[in-house]
Amino acid sequence: MKGFVVKEFLHIFRDHRTMLILFGMPIAQVLLFGFAITNEINHASIAVFDKARDSKSLELQQKLTASGYFDINMQLENTKSIEKAFQSGKVKEIVVIPPQFEKTLELDQPTTIQLINDASDPNTANLISSYTSAILMDFAASINPQANSLPVTTETTMLYNPELKGVFMFVPGTITILLMLVSAMMTSISIAREKEMGTMEVLLISPLKPYQIILGKVLPYVVFSFVNAMVILILAYSIFEMPVNGSLLLLLAESLLFILMALAMGLFISTVSNSQQTAMLLSMFALMLPTILLSGFVFPVENMPLALQWLSHLMPSKWFIIIVKSIMLKGLGIAYLWQETLIILLMAFIFIILSIKKFEVRLKLK
Amino acid sequence: MKPVIEVENLVKKFGNFVANDSLTFSVFPGEIFGFLGANGAGKTTTIKILCGLSAPTSGKVSVAGYDVYRHSELIKKNIGYMSQKFSLYEDLSITENFQFYGGIYGLSRNEIRERTKALLNRLDFLKAQNEVLRNIPQGWKQKLAFSVAVMHQPKVVFLDEPTGGVDPITRRQFWELIYEQANNGTTIFVTTHYMDEAEYCGRVSIMVDGKIEALDSPEKLKNQFAVNSMNDVFVKLARAAK
């Protein structure tokens, strides 16, 4: 048993590709998701069509730039140039300030500032326009602090992630994907490799019991997956200042449970595939894609058609993402998460039973 | 002498297909038993049953003194196995492979060290002990695999086409190893497609369509079928197959 685990570690350490996937992936993914794929706006370039050109309109422009979210790259002179500005691709939004801006404000009359967005990229357009509106609202309030009623009164509070940091959304998803990848894909491939090489036959003929073979194969990956989860958490904490508001212990325990679930899935895949390629493809299509697409990691589940929403309930990763987010951001305890935990536990159980059944059937028939 | 493998009326069915049709034979300690048959004749099924990997449908089977129905775990401790496909772990060194398989069979660290040294010495391969298996030629791998299969000193070694894809000189050397092992009292149960190798066996059984059609020493079989070589014996029998 000990020798088996040692051997498995040797396999992993000798294989540079496996090592790269095991340790390069988490770091690359977290950094990628954290820095590159972001929902935040940072120095978005916009243009201003200032029809007023008075002190208030200038003040407004300064406020926009001072926020750090926007760079005013262009001053437009006439309506025609609006279209040109967008076509040049240099600006994402145009703020149109009406004539006699200052005067209207002094007279306490309502005024409208027009925001024109390049909606060919709808998500970004939405984000930029809401950021701008927020700044404009702020501006309106600062001009007339005593006024009982502002022209517009919306107040949005962003709970749990007040700065709307993208990385807070991505870290739970990334942990999930990586645990899935390392646990399920790696184990299924490594078991399939023994079958392909013919060494599995020898193991089965040896006095080792099937459960010992499975444990020996799986144990190293449990360790690696766990280390991976830690690395991601440490990266998230140290580079992106992502907090762990809830209990770290609970988080680790839940991760372990999810790892077990993923391993059980990997085992199941390995029982139905006889070559490394099959195992890899099955893991990719049956595990990775649904994890990415249906778990709510990239696309919000609420916006999916009903059928897909139902399907997403079957994704263990969906529940795990909920758990991770709740513990890390909301600081919730097990009292609030027992349902999700139970679902993952149940899934792990089902897959373990299924793969043991499969494994035994193989033994009998072959 | 008490047989080390005893098979009586062994039947194995997969649904309606009869893979092994009431086989009866015994193999004695130190014997080299050739288990021949065309592809699909049912050899692999029988070996799987003898190794405790698959349960027979009916019949009496005992290996190394243990019943396959009740003591398949004990059988596994007392047999060795090597197939053409089996080529150890490519990414581990020779020593690491020996350590791993020795560990599986419950040998102590000292035993593993001593036996590895003795076996590698016999092969004159001690100098390469830390070489990763990937870098070793196929013929050597087969000899190493055989050494690993007998490291725990099993009563019976099953060799499933051990010399497939190996050059004639290495095959010759391989059979020398087999003879040495048999002289030490280990029973060798070997399948092969090379009919010259069949001549090396003490006794040979030839299986056709799930039945054993002939079982005797190569000399007697050649007399019985009035031919000059085992090859002709085999062809005569296999032609009769469905």
Torsion angle (degrees, nearest 10) of CA A228, A230, A233, A239: -80
Other beta carbons within 10 Å of A336: 14
A92 touches A44 (CB < 8 A): yes
Is A197–B87 a contact, with Cβ atoms under 8 angstroms apart? yes
Is A11–B85 a contact, with Cβ atoms under 8 angstroms apart? no
User: What is the least distance, in Å, from the CA of B105 to any CA of chain A?
Assistant: 7
B162 touching chain A per CB within 8 A: no
- The pLDDT of residue A153 is 43
Q: Which residues of B touch A365 (CB under 8 A)?
A: 14, 54
Instruction: Kindly identify which residue of chain B lies nearest to residue A361, measuring between CA atoms.
Output: B54
Is B103–A3 a contact, with Cβ atoms under 8 angstroms apart? yes
User: Residues A21-63: pLDDT tens digits?
Assistant: 777 877 787 777 767 655 567 788 888 988 888 888 888 888 8
B14 touching chain A per CB within 8 A: yes
Structure tokens, A13: 């350490």
A203 touching chain B per CB within 8 A: yes
ipTM: 0.82
Q: Report the C-alpha gap between B89 and A290 in whole angstroms.
A: 34
- The pLDDT of residue A158 is 47
User: Residues A76-120: pLDDT tens digits?
Assistant: 888 888 888 888 778 888 888 888 888 887 777 777 788 888 777
- Evaluate the CA torsion angle A267, A270, A276, A278 in order and state its sign: negative
User: Residues A116-169: pLDDT tens digits?
Assistant: 887 777 667 777 888 888 888 788 777 766 554 455 444 444 445 555 555 677
User: What is the least distance, in Å, from the CA of B145 to any CA of chain A?
Assistant: 11
A313 touching chain B per CB within 8 A: no
Q: State CA B154 to chain mean position distance.
A: 12
Q: Which residues of A touch B54 (CB under 8 A)?
A: 363-366
Is A7–B96 a contact, with Cβ atoms under 8 angstroms apart? yes
Structure tokens, B106: 């419950």
Q: How many Cα atoms occupy the beta-carbon half-sphere of A208 within 13 Å?
A: 25
pLDDT tens, chain B, 242 aa long = 789 999 999 999 988 898 899 999 999 999 999 999 888 888 888 998 998 888 899 999 999 999 988 888 889 999 999 887 766 888 889 999 999 999 888 889 999 999 999 999 998 888 888 888 888 888 888 889 999 999 999 999 999 888 887 888 888 999 999 999 999 999 999 998 888 888 899 999 999 888 898 899 999 999 998 888 888 888 888 777 65
Is A2–B103 a contact, with Cβ atoms under 8 angstroms apart? yes
B92 touching chain A per CB within 8 A: yes
Contacts of A239 (CB under 8 A, 6+ apart): A30, A31, A34
Q: Which residues pair with B17 in a beta bridge?
A: B14
Residue A198 pLDDT class (50, 70, 90 cuts): confident
Is B81–A11 a contact, with Cβ atoms under 8 angstroms apart? no
Torsion angle (degrees, nearest 10) of CA A69, A70, A71, A76: 180
